[in-house]
């Protein structure tokens, strides 16, 4: 089984899987979150957007802006964490930065030198490419195309977005590392790009590790229908694997499985979708190479692989102590979830303060991220976390802001981000 090659820098739509993370929409209501959410290695899925740009009044977030519907991590920035904030059908991209590297930072989202994205339903940046789902249900992609991840029928990279062929009536979109997947209104799922680990879901060969000849041939330049799947509602592309949430609220995954990513109690990779065992009533999904999680319609949170030994650790297990969960996000080695009253709970690695509990101590069980309440949307970054509240404000913690030497400043508890720019 081939293992995807990690790039030198981790990028995420969750950029993405990734991916924009939505605020726990019930199945069938709105686009999927990001993905990727989740680690997805260098890239994952993420999605959604709207109308007005970010503005400030007297240094405060304008209430007229409305709620943030999605957050997407994009290409790394030397001055901070690259981020896109999505409202209705307009996306605004910038970087969370520090005003003064010698003092505790005041975060600001500064627009990057790109045109405002409008008429966007889903924004899905991959590791080195980006695709957008427009309000007319068409998909547009640009960026690196060395493995066909743009779906344009060739391998030439393009700087400006181009429409993906005959792919129409798309309702869900997600990007992984050099792979893109979409779901159409007819319930079919389609993937293109890298296929060596089975992540295209084409039923083809899984390339042995270090078999360059096989890997060179296993790609799709144009959208290819995922075999054996019907009734698909949402798709999630991650790092070397992908999943689909069906209308019956079951989750099906395919691709690389060397760490138990597929949740089927094995480590056998597959290019054919397999149902994730033990899960029903799935509402929201966050994928990661190290940990994937789902929220069910009852507000329960399930994650895999777990800490137990043997094959049981490869199956989803319910996270104890959390009820009324509305959204979940996975970072590289940490997980955060929104539960009752919009409180954020996190666990896992905490070397950079990404759990938000004012310490750097790793946690095996969920702990509160400061006193934050009213959160509606959550995004797990590589070593940091961001959440949006219903009032339109953005809060972040962990490794954020301007770099000092080779390290970013670390914020150990949620801090409000100042939003600037038109």
Segments of 145-291 assigned E as strands: 158-163, 170-176, 179-184, 189-194, 219-225, 232-237, 241-246, 251-255, 270-275, 282-286
Per-residue model confidence as pLDDT tens digits over 63-112: 334 678 778 776 555 556 677 777 776 777 777 765 554 554 455 555 54
Instruction: Mean pLDDT check: name the lowest of 79-93, 217-231, 277-291.
Output: 79-93
For 203-226, letters b (16+ CB in 10 Å) and e give: ebebbeeeeeeebeebbbbbbbeb
Instruction: Mean pLDDT check: name the lowest of 54-68, 130-144, 154-168, 271-285.
Output: 54-68
Q: What percent of the chain has pLDDT over 90?
A: 55
Confidence of residue 327 (pLDDT cuts 50, 70, 90): very high
Angle at 110 between CA 105 and CA 113, to 5 degrees: 145
Strand arrangement, sheet containing 375-380: 70-73, 80-87, 90-98, 107-111, 407-419, 394-404, 384-389, 375-380
Does residue 10 have a pLDDT over 70?
no
* pLDDT, position 417: 84
Does residue 23 have a pLDDT over 70?
no
Answer with the residue of higher pLDDT: 159 or 101.
159
* pLDDT, position 124: 82
* pLDDT, position 281: 97
Does residue 330 have a pLDDT over 60?
yes
Looking at residues 367-380, what average pLDDT do you find? 95
* pLDDT, position 121: 79
The answer as to CATH 3.40.190.10 being correct for domain 56-419 is no
Domain chopping of the chain, boundaries: 56-419
Looking at residues 350-360, what average pLDDT do you find? 95
**Residue 202, SS3?**
coil
* pLDDT, position 263: 93
Confidence of residue 408 (pLDDT cuts 50, 70, 90): low
**Residues 349/321, Cβ–Cβ less than 8 Å:** no
* pLDDT, position 46: 34
* pLDDT, position 47: 32
Distance of CA 251 to the CA centre of its chain: 16
* Non-local CB neighbours of 56 within 8 Å, separated by 6+ positions: 62, 418, 419, 420
Answer with the residue of higher pLDDT: 409 or 410.
410
Instruction: Mean pLDDT check: name the lowest of 15-29, 282-296, 320-334.
Output: 15-29
Confidence of residue 220 (pLDDT cuts 50, 70, 90): very high
* Mean pLDDT of the residues in the chain: 78
Looking at residues 108-123, what average pLDDT do you find? 60
Cα–Cα dist 232/314, whole Å: 24
Cα–Cα dist 197/261, whole Å: 12
Looking at residues 213-239, what average pLDDT do you find? 95
**Residues 81/95, Cβ–Cβ less than 8 Å:** yes
Confidence of residue 28 (pLDDT cuts 50, 70, 90): very low
Cα–Cα dist 261/151, whole Å: 25
Confidence of residue 33 (pLDDT cuts 50, 70, 90): very low
Does residue 19 have a pLDDT over 70?
no
Question: What pairing do the DSSP bridges indicate for beta strands 407-419 and 107-111?
Answer: parallel
């Amino acid at each position: 089984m081939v293992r995807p090659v990690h790039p030198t820098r981790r990028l995420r739509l969750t950029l993405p899987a990734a991916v924009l993370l939505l605020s726990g929409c019930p199945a069938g209501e709105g686009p999927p979150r990001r993905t990727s959410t989740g680690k997805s290695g260098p890239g994952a899925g993420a999605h959604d957007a709207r109308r007005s740009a970010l503005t400030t009044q007297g240094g405060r977030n304008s209430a007229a802006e409305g709620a943030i519907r999605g957050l997407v991590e994009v290409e790394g920035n030397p001055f901070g964490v690259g981020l896109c904030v999505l409202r209705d059908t307009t996306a605004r991209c910038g970087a969370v930065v520090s005003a003064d590297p010698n003092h505790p930072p005041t975060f600001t989202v500064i627009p990057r030198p790109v045109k405002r994205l409008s008429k966007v339903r889903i924004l899905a940046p991959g590791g080195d490419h980006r695709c957008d789902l427009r309000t007319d249900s068409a998909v547009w992609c640009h960026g690196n195309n060395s493995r066909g991840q743009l779906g344009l029928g060739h391998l030439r990279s393009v700087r400006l977005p181009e429409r993906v062929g005959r792919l129409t009536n798309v309702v869900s979109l997600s990007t992984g590392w050099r792979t893109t997947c979409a779901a159409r209104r007819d319930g079919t799922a389609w993937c293109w790009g890298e296929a060596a680990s089975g992540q295209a879901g084409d039923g083809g060969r899984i390339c042995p590790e270090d078999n360059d000849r096989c890997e060179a041939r296993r790609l799709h330049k144009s959208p290819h229908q995922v075999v054996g799947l019907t009734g698909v509602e949402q798709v999630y592309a991650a790092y070397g694997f992908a999943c689909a949430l069906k209308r019956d609220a079951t989750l099906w995954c395919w691709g690389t499985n060397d760490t138990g990513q597929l949740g089927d109690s094995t480590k056998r990779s597959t290019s054919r979708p397999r149902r994730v065992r033990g899960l029903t009533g799935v509402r929201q999904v966050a994928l990661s190479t190290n940990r994937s999680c789902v929220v069910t319609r009852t507000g329960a949170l399930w994650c895999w692989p777990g800490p137990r030994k043997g094959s049981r650790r490869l199956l989803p297990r319910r996270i104890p102590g959390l009820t009324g969960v509305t959204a979940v996000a996975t970072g590289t080695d940490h997980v955060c979830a929104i539960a009752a009253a919009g409180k954020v709970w996190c666990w896992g690695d905490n070397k950079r303060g990404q759990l938000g509990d004012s310490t750097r101590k790793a946690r095996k069980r969920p702990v509160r991220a400061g006193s934050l309440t009213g959160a509606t949307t959550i995004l797990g970054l590589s070593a940091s976390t961001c959440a949006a509240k219903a009032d339109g404000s953005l809060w972040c913690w962990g490794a954020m802001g301007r770099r000092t030497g080779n390290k970013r400043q670390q914020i150990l508890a949620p801090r409000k981000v100042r939003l600037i720019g038109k």
